[in-house]
Structure formats: C-alpha cells, structure tokens
Amino acid sequence: METKEFAYKGSTLNGFFMLFFNLALIIAAIVMFFFSFDSDAWPLAIAAGAALFVSLFLWAGFMMLEPGEARVVMFFGKYVGTFTRTGYYWINPFTTTKKLSLRARNLDAEPIKVNDKEGNPVMIGLVLVWRLKDTYKALFEIDSQTMAANNAQVGTDVKSMMAAFERFVRVQSDAALRQVAGQYAYDDTESRSKDITLRSGGEEINDQLEAKLTERLAMAGIEVVEARINYLAYAPEIAAVMLRRQQATAIIAAREKIVEGAVSMVKMALDQLQEQGIVSLDEDKKAQMVSNLLVVLCGEDNAQPIVNTGSI
C-alpha cells in the first residue's frame, strides 16, 4: 500500500550548540538588565527583555530522539515530514511534534470463544508481534482518540499514544482471529478426510492469520512482524463430549487395525497348514478354526486354552 510518509527536510541545528547559545543569551540578558539601572541606559533594559523573550522562544525548539523513535513534525497543522535521526537537535520552534515509538511490540491476546466451520464453540488465542511502519497513516488516517479505552483522553506523550494503537491492534486481532477460525473445523471428524483443520493446519493457518492481520492493520500504518495461534481447545461446555468422541474414534481406529491384523494372521496360518500338509481340514473345520483364532486375536481378555483330546 502506498505510503504518504516522508523524511523531514527542514533545517535543524545541533542541540548542544543551541543550548550553549541560549544559556549565553540568558547570561547576556541578565548582565544588560543589571547595567540598565543607570537612568541613561534604558535601551539596555529593552535589549535585556528582548533577549529573554528570544531565549524563551528558542527553548521550544529542542528535541531528543532515542533509537527506535520518531517525531512527526507539523507546521501550523500541515505535515512537513517525520524526523527519525537519533540525538539532540533544535528545529523551528513554530513547528509542533508528536513522538511515536517504532520498536516492536508484543500482544498476547487472551483466548476468545468462536464458532468453527461446523458451528462448534472453541477457545482460540494468538500471539502477535507488531510495530509502527508509517507514522503518517498512524496519526492522520485513523482517529487515535476513539481508540482510547473508556473514552479517556489520549495525551501527546509516547506512552499514551502507543497505548491507543495497542487497543486498535487488539480489536482488529480479535476480528481477524474470528474470521480465520470460522473458515475451518477444529478437528478432522473423518479419519480419511484431507481437509485442513485448526489443529492440523499449522503454518498454513498462521500464514492466513498473518495475511488477514496485515490487511486490517495496514490502514493504521502498522506492520505485522509475526502472528500465530498459541492456544486452541474446545469450549468448556462441549469439551467433555468431544473428548469422549475422540476416544471413541481412537477405539474404532484401533479395532480396525486389530481386525486387519487378525485376518492376516488367520490367513497365514491356514496357508501354512495347507502347504506343509500338517493337517487336512474340510470347510467346516476351517470355519471353526477361523472363528476360534479371531476370538483369541480380537478379544480384550486373555483366552483360556482348552485341550481337545478327541478329533479335530
């Protein structure tokens, strides 16, 4: 998305030089004011007053920036650029500035209740790393005042400004998470289904969540560094039922494997008896043997052997 931010190109001076100059101006004003007590030195009093007035005016131009911070500069309401050079500087006192933090911030959202694709209520949470990228959009294309919690006033200090942006990010993250979660089922109810689910989606779900967040937060000049689901569970009201459902599915899958293996073992036993000529079995005897072997192999309890002393 096109950015409207640009670097501040106005004149700036070294802050320490201007600080010493301002202090020297104050000292000179005091000296001139002291000598103005002479009745013939009234021009010195005027000069001292003017020097003090200029000194007070110059104090308004000082600003200091740390790494990872920026100042949005405005001249009588007009945006004239973003200042990002670190250090101590002096700029035109008629300009106004607002400090913003460009450092990465972390949002660990509390799990929220949403409905998955099948309508089941699930609890899902995310962790998000974000930072301001476009200061123009952040200040002028969204209303930070409406983002303040409980209609509190947003101050000009960086802490209150960033708190307002954090609330905006939290609201948009909630909406994006609900949108993504509603497109997928929590889990695969059919073992042979190849559909992506919230549990099995992994990186693909996280990539889609990050794309949705980037789309929503771009209007505020916010960059999404990383976004991923960090909590996923059924809602408490259906958690017990879904646990029994999962257990039943697991039992059925295990039974299928047991039966598949038992049939293979029975077939192998009959083939080897026939190939090696150990015993000759008619169809009735084979059916009885298959029945007994399946009971032994598929039963949950240990089989009790019975010695047959008669004919087979």
Give the confidence band of 310 by pLDDT, cuts at 50, 70, 90.
Answer: low
Please count the CA atoms within 13 angstroms of the CA of 272 that sit on its side-chain side: 6
Of 178, 13, 186, 12, the residue nearest 111 (C-alpha): 178
Across 53-62, 141-150, 202-211, least confident range: 141-150
Q: Are residues 76 and 161 in the same domain?
A: no
Domain final residue, candidates 79, 100, 121:
100
**Amino acid at residue number 237:** E
Q: Are residues 139 and 36 in the same domain?
A: no
Report how far residue 201's alpha carbon sits from residue 184's, in angstroms, rounded to the nearest whole number.
9
pLDDT (tens digit per residue) in 118-172: 888 889 999 999 999 999 998 888 876 555 444 444 455 778 888 888 889 999 9
pLDDT score of 79 more than 80: yes
Q: pTM (2 decimals)?
A: 0.70
Confidence (pLDDT) at 152: 45
Mean pLDDT of 53-67: 90
Across 9-18, 29-38, 66-75, 267-276, least confident range: 267-276
pLDDT score of 82 more than 90: yes
Q: Are residues 119 and 61 in the same domain?
A: no
Do 113 and 85 form a contact (C-beta atoms < 8 A)? no
Percent of the chain with pLDDT over 90: 34
User: What backbone torsions phi and psi does residue 36 show, to the nearest 5 degrees?
Assistant: -75, -5
In this structure, what CATH number is given to the domain that contains residue 182?
A: 3.30.479.30
Name, of 111-115, 129-133, 289-293, the range with top average pLDDT.
Answer: 129-133
pLDDT score of 51 more than 70: yes
Please check whether residue 142 lies inside any domain of the structure.
Answer: yes
Q: Are residues 143 and 192 in the same domain?
A: yes
Higher per-residue confidence, 157 vs 56 = 56
| 82 strand-pairing partners | 7, 72
Confidence (pLDDT) at 164: 86
pLDDT score of 304 more than 90: no
Please check whether residue 177 lies inside any domain of the structure.
Answer: yes
Report how far residue 57's alpha carbon sits from residue 53's, in angstroms, rounded to the nearest whole number.
6
Give the confidence band of 292 by pLDDT, cuts at 50, 70, 90.
Answer: low
Q: Are residues 48 and 137 in the same domain?
A: no
Do 177 and 209 form a contact (C-beta atoms < 8 A)? yes
Q: Are residues 275 and 223 in the same domain?
A: no
Do 112 and 178 form a contact (C-beta atoms < 8 A)? yes
What tokens were used for 155?
């101050």
Contacts 24+ apart (CB under 8 A), 287-293: 290/266, 293/262, 293/265, 293/266, 293/269
Confidence (pLDDT) at 124: 92
Confidence (pLDDT) at 260: 76
Q: Are residues 285 and 185 in the same domain?
A: no
Q: What is the mean pLDDT of the chain?
A: 81
Give the residue ranges of DSSP H helices in the chain: 15-35, 42-59, 135-140, 158-181, 198-201, 203-217, 236-276, 283-298
Q: How many domains does the chain have?
A: 3
DSSP 219: G
Confidence (pLDDT) at 191: 52
pLDDT score of 115 more than 70: yes
Of 97, 149, 107, the residue nearest 131 (C-alpha): 107
Estimate to the nearest angstrom the gap between the alpha carbon of 242 and the chain centroid.
28
Buried b or exposed e, range 16-35, using 16+ CB within 10 angstroms: eebeeebeeebeebeebbee
Q: Which residue has the tokens 């700029």?
A: 91
What tokens were used for 225?
């560094």
- How long, in residues, is the chain? 312
Please check whether residue 311 lies inside any domain of the structure.
Answer: no
Domain final residue, candidates 234, 264, 289:
234
Q: Are residues 166 and 207 in the same domain?
A: yes
Please check whether residue 132 lies inside any domain of the structure.
Answer: yes
Confidence (pLDDT) at 109: 86
**3-class DSSP assignment, residue 79:** strand
Confidence (pLDDT) at 263: 79
Q: Are residues 225 and 123 in the same domain?
A: yes
pLDDT (tens digit per residue) in 215-266: 999 988 999 999 999 888 888 776 666 676 666 666 667 777 777 777 777 7
**Amino acid at residue number 245:** R
Of 67, 201, 217, 5, the residue nearest 129 (C-alpha): 217
Higher per-residue confidence, 154 vs 49 = 49
Range of the domain at 33: 12-100
Q: Are residues 86 and 128 in the same domain?
A: no
pLDDT (tens digit per residue) in 19-28: 999 999 889 8
Confidence (pLDDT) at 69: 92
- Pairing verdict, β 95-101 and 69-75: antiparallel
Confidence (pLDDT) at 84: 92
Q: Are residues 65 and 116 in the same domain?
A: no
Q: Rounded to 5 degrees, what angle do the CA atoms 90, 93, 99 make?
A: 70
